[in-house]
Amino acid sequence: MKKRSCGTCTKCCEGYLAGEALGHTFYAGKPCHFIAIGAGCTVYEKRPKDPCISYKCAWLTNEDIPEWMKPSDIDAIIDMRQIGKHQYLNLKEAGSPMQAKVLSWFFQYVLKTGLNAQWEVNGGINWVGSPEFNEEMSKQNLQKII
Model pLDDT for residues 92-145, shown as the tens digit of each residue? 999 999 999 999 999 999 999 999 999 999 988 999 999 999 999 998 876 554
Q: What share of residues in the chain are helix, strand, coil (percent, to 5)?
A: 35, 25, 40
Which of 55, 71, 99 lies at the terminal end of a domain, its last residue?
A: 55
Domain shared by 31 and 79, yes or no = no
Total domains in the fold of the chain: 2
pLDDT tens-digit map of 31-60? 999 998 878 899 999 999 989 999 999 999
Closest CA to 57 of 133, 22, 6, 107: 6
Cross-strand bridge partners of residue 100? none
| 20 has pLDDT over 70 | yes
Nearest to 94 by CA among 10, 8, 16: 16
Q: Are residues 126 and 75 in the same domain?
A: yes
Backbone angles phi, psi at 61, to 5 degrees: -110, -15
